[in-house]
Structure 1
Amino acid sequence: MTVVSVSMPEELVERIDAFASEHGYTGRSEVVREASRNLLGEFEDKRLEDRELMAVVTVIFDYETTSVEERMMGLRHDYEGLVVANFHSHVGTHYCMELFVLEGQLESISTFVGKIRATKDTLSVDYSVMPVDEFGPFASPE
């Protein structure tokens, strides 16, 4: 097996180690391998390919991190054909929430979510994807 060196904040390493211990993993490498497989596989649902989809993407970040808000606005403009709605709100005393509603194909939605996730200083990225075509949520078109 190839050994890969990855840089991450100490807090994340501690969370991975605690997770591994609590859930019976042999160590952090096993946790990272499983997380990587899950991340790489999450947009591989064949039932969603070649279909019109909608997605809701929610991003949480610290309100003092203006670079995240600027990046969100930039992505909104870069993907104006995909983003059909966008909502910004303050959450709690220190956080902002950015919500995107998307309509498009799986590849475009996957790329958009990837760019959001790659934005430095986001605290949380959550999303859901579902078909909006006439065949229902997971029926295969004939």
Structure 2
Amino acid sequence: MTVVSVSMPDELLERLDSFADEHGYTGRSEVVREASRNLLTEFQDKQLEDRELMGIVTVLFDFESTDVEHKMMHLRHDYEQLVISHVHNHVGDHYCMELFILEGSLEDISTFVGKIRATQDTLSIDYSVMPVDRIDGVV
């Protein structure tokens, strides 16, 4: 097995180690391998391929210490064909929440989510995807 070096903040590493201990993993490598497999397969659902999809992506970040808001604005403009609606809300004293409503292919939505995940300093990213034809009652 190949050994890979990964950089991450101390806080994330501590959370990773705690998670491994609490859930019975043999170590952080096992957690990272499982997380990597899950991330790489989450958009490979055959039932979603070749269908028009709706996606909802929620991003939380601290607006006082980062330029995430600026990066979200650029993503919104870069993917204006995919983003059919967008909401920006202030949460608490210094947090912002971006909500993106998307309509497009699995490939386009997964690319968009990947770009958001690659944005440094986001605190939380959550999303869901569903076929648009389910809204009409057709499965």
Scaled to the shorter chain, the TM-score interval is over 0.9
Q: Distance in 1 between matches of 2:128 and 2:16?
A: 24
Q: Distance in 2 between matches of 1:124 and 1:11?
A: 15
Distance 1:12 1:120, change over 3 A: same
Distance 1:136 1:20, change over 3 A: farther
Q: Do the aligned partners of 2:25 and 2:31 also contact (CA within 8 Å) in 1?
A: yes
Residues 31-89 of structure 1, C-alpha deviations (whole Å, 9 max, x = no match): 00000001001100000000000000000000214510011000000000000000000
The structure 1 segments of at least 4 consecutive aligned residues displaced by more than 3 Å after TM superposition are 134-139
Q: Distance in 1 between matches of 2:43 and 2:25?
A: 25
Unpaired segments ≥5 residues, structure 2 = none
- 1:73 and 2:73 aligned: yes
When normalised by structure 2's length, the TM-score is 0.95
Q: Distance in 2 between matches of 1:135 and 1:67?
A: 36
Q: Distance in 2 between matches of 1:137 and 1:60?
A: 32
Distance 1:9 1:66, change over 3 A: closer
Moved more, 130-139 or 3-12: 130-139
- Give the CA RMSD over aligned residues: 1.6
What amino acid is aligned across from residue 7 of structure 1 in structure 2? S
SS of structure 2 residue aligned to 1:133: helix
Q: Which residue of 1 aligns with 2:60?
A: 60
When normalised by structure 1's length, the TM-score is 0.93
